[in-house]
Structure 1
Amino acid sequence: RKHKDSKMDDTELYRNAGRKTSSLLDTFGIPSAAFKTSLQFDRGGKRDLKQYLICYRPEDVTNRHLLLYNGIINYIPGLESELDHISSKKLNMIIAMVSKGMSDGKSADLSSVKHKGLQYIGLNMYSEANALDPPIPEIEDKSMRGLNHPQLAHLLCPWKKLVWFDEDPDSYVSGEITMMAHIWPTFFYEHGVYDAAEKTHGLFRNHIVLRFYKHLFIGPSSVMNDSSNVCNSVKPSKNRAWGLTAVNKYIIAYVHIIISLALLLLTYFMISSAQHWTRCIGDMDLDELLWAIIEMLDDDPWVKDTLAWWNRYIFLCG
């Protein structure tokens, strides 16, 4: 049935809230834990979402649950007013649908870009000189995966260890160079830019992440047409459907996680048999990486400039 405060039916409304939650707020959050903590905390009273967006610290589990809880409440019209009298059965159903939406949204995004996104990696997408060599075919035969692909492994290697990588790429692939959540990989930085004395220089400004954002939030045609204003699609973009008017730190973190997972799955198949959405591959905990990025994007002049850079290059589709 249609929800009284939405044109969607109830099931789709709850699943859509889950899709928004995973992309715009907390990719690895657990709605059931968030609701349990938050309802015990204040018996359903909605806290100020902006307060938690500003004051959140990932080591504070309660605050993380409150952040997720308030985000879901914000994405489901009318739910806040129902919480004082809602039945446990209905609330559990809502939480299950939100969780389903989160899972489906992440899986769909990863599936969408895992192979298509490979053409976004080269600085010039239309130059054979920038193409992946060897190419990675879009097939399910595990033997044809890019196990030790040098260009993809290079992107995942931390900037500070590139000299070591270039001297002996096999050491990196075999795990001698460990990729950790607080050591930024090369693709986190603007192409060819890294300054050990100024580690924020070029950080989160790579051409790859811009293209992945456009693919995920606007549509693949916006990448291939080098445009951010493709508004005539039959299916509305996430930007339009979700009313996004600016990129924030949570979205930037999500895009980096999607790319990291896609590259890890394609490059390190031998480390993990997972070929779908997962939190950990080898020593890399993507949940830790997500919140390390969010923490890095605190409110200071560098962050404001970085967000302005993103929004300048991504003319959000109205």
Structure 2
Amino acid sequence: MSSSSPPPEEPRNPGRIKAILDSLENLQGGRKRKKSDPLDPYLKAARAFPLLHDPLVDLGAVFYDGIKADHEEEHPDDDETPEERLSTGRIYRVNVFRDFVKCIPTISTTISGFEDDPAKLEDFIDALRNTASLARAEDTCKLKDLCPSFLLDDPSKSGAALDPPIIKGQSKSLRGWNHKATARGLCPMVDIMAFDEDPQSYMDLVLNGEKRPPLFKKLPSCLYDESLAAPILKRSGFLRGKPPERTFRAIFTGPLTALDPTSRKGTKQPKGVIHGMTEPMGRAIAYAAIQLILSLSSVEQWSSEVNGLDLYELYLSIVTTLENTNHSWVKETLDYWKKYALKFSWPNFAR
């Protein structure tokens, strides 16, 4: 992620600021907005935020920390210690902000336009925060009924089904460590042989608290290609499995492409094209991995933790690893994703 300064300010346009304020009022009042609305570029960027920037950090906090950092010399916070100002979390959010605003060329002047009305700035940030949360929630809802079937070798095969079946609309309390297939997907890759020897016994040990579920250092098997996995090599086969590939395509090139990358129906552009993605990005891959794990779990609502597994720690670890482009494993992994995860998709979608 870039930590460079935000783009230079553009000349302030009072007419555009007023149009944005009017659109905010319409949005808050539930009134119909214009076909070409001045808020659209900002809301579009907000929808991309969880997919391409960070699904677990609060967009509001990112904006407040980012704006504060860019005006820190003029408006220092006397109540904040130097350690707090330089906290790792805040530095990260500032960097996310500066990376994010590059997607919106007019954002600097728009923010400046709210100087005389801080309450409206809060409304603006809330609108972006809510839009980002909704985009993430829509993916979570859609994937809830799709991802369990991605555990099957060939879900399109006649008669292919989980045992017992996971039915659409069924409570998620029946998943996680309460279902053999989802439990196996959540089982640490290093323990998969022990799981397969006696699945029910392993599940009971986790449910009874006698065995710890997967932690950060023991990653779920659903993120691996088991034919490549090696007990002593954490990265062998990691992020090469079919479930994360299918989840990624379901999000970025459409549910119909999840099982068949060449499938294309309808005229609606997929999210990857809408948000300008030209190849699989580390943050997008990490986002798909987090959504997959969440969908297999018994957790009913979005959470940063699943049975002791810190999803935020996992997300940042995947991102940090995949952004280390000098590592041979990273190059091989990203080349793999370009070849298989989006095979045939982008040339058809990006026309």
TMscore range, shorter length = 0.7 to 0.9
CA distance in 1 between counterparts of 2:208 and 2:127 reads 40
* 1:172 to 2:199 alignment: no
Is the CA contact 1:191–1:207 (under 8 Å) kept in the aligned structure 2?
no
Q: Runs of 5+ in structure 1 lacking a partner?
A: 46-58, 266-273
1:142 and 1:207, CA in 2 relative to 1: closer, same or farther beyond 3 A? closer
Residue type at the aligned position of 1:21: F
Q: What corresponds to 1:120 in structure 2?
A: 150
CA contact (8 A) 1:107 1:276 kept: no
Query: 2:271 aligned with 1:234, yes or no?
Result: no
Helix, strand or coil for the counterpart of 1:83? helix
- In structure 1, the residue matched to 2:257 is 222
State which of 273, 298, 301 in structure 1 corresponds to 2:328: 301
The answer for the alignment partner of 1:91 in structure 2 is: 121
Equivalent pair of 1:18/1:72 in contact (CA under 8 Å): no
For residues 13 and 171 of structure 1, the distance between their equivalents in structure 2, rounded to whole angstroms, comes to: 50
Q: For 1:131-150, list aligned pairs within 5 A.
A: 131-140=161-170, 148-150=178-180
Counterpart position of 2:41? 13
Answer yes or no: is the 8 Å Cα contact 1:182–1:292 preserved in 2: no
- Cα 1:153–1:173 change in 2 (3 A) is farther
Whether 1:105 and 2:135 are equivalent positions in the alignment is yes
Following TM superposition, by how much is the alpha carbon of 1:223 offset from its aligned partner in structure 2, in angstroms? 2.5
Give a deviation string over 1:104-151, Cα, whole Å, max 9, x none: 011100110111222222111233675311101113457766761111
- Return the TM-score normalized by structure 2: 0.75
Measured in 1, the distance between the counterparts of 2:171 and 2:329 equals: 44
Give the letter for the 2:333 counterpart: T
| Structure 2 CA distance for aligned equivalents of residues 102 and 68 of structure 1 | 14
Distance in 1, Cα, partners of 2:176 & 2:110: 50
Contact 1:280 1:286 (8 Å CA) reproduced:
yes
Matched residue SS, 1:154: helix
2-structure distance, mates of 1:291, 1:42 = 24
Structure with bigger gyration radius: 2
Alignment of 1:51-90 (within 5 A): 60-87=88-115, 88-90=118-120
Which residue identity is paired with 2:223? F
Go from structure 1 to structure 2 and tell me whether the alpha carbon gap of 1:293 and 1:9 turns closer, same or farther (over 3 Å shift). same
1:28-65 CA distance string (max 9 Å, x none): 112232222222322299xxxxxxxxxxxxx8223311
What is the distance in 2 between the residues matched to 1:143 and 1:63?
37
SS in 1 for 2:165: coil
CA distance in 1, matches of 2:60, 2:172: 35
1:23 equivalenced with 2:48 (yes/no): no
Task: Kindly state the Cα deviation for residue 2 of structure 1 after the two structures are TM-superposed.
Answer: 6.9
1:26 counterpart letter in structure 2:
D
Number of residue pairs the alignment of both structures matches: 294
Pick closer, same or farther for the CA change 1:145–1:290 going to 2, 3 Å: closer
How much identity, in percent, do the aligned residues show? 25
Against the structure 1 CA distance between its residues 44 and 121, is the aligned structure 2 distance closer, same or farther, given a 3 Å change threshold? farther
* Higher mean C-alpha displacement, 8-17 vs 308-317: 8-17
Name the amino acid aligned to 2:229.
Y
Quick check: 17-26 or 71-80, which moved more?
71-80
Structure 1 CA distance for aligned equivalents of residues 96 and 36 of structure 2: 22
Q: How does 1:224-263 map to 2 (within 5 A)?
A: 224=259, 226-228=260-262, 230=264, 233-263=266-296
Moved over 6 A (4+): none
Deviation larger for 120-129 or 148-157: 120-129
Asked whether the equivalents of residues 148 and 295 of structure 2 are also in contact (C-alpha less than 8 Å), the reply is: no
RMSD: 2.8
8 Å contact kept, 2:253–2:271: yes
Cα distance in 1 for residues equivalent to 2:64 and 2:136: 23
> Is the partner of 2:178 in helix, strand or coil?
coil
For 2:48 and 2:308, how far apart are their aligned partners in 1?
28
- Out of 158, 163, 183, the residue aligned to residue 193 of structure 2 is 163
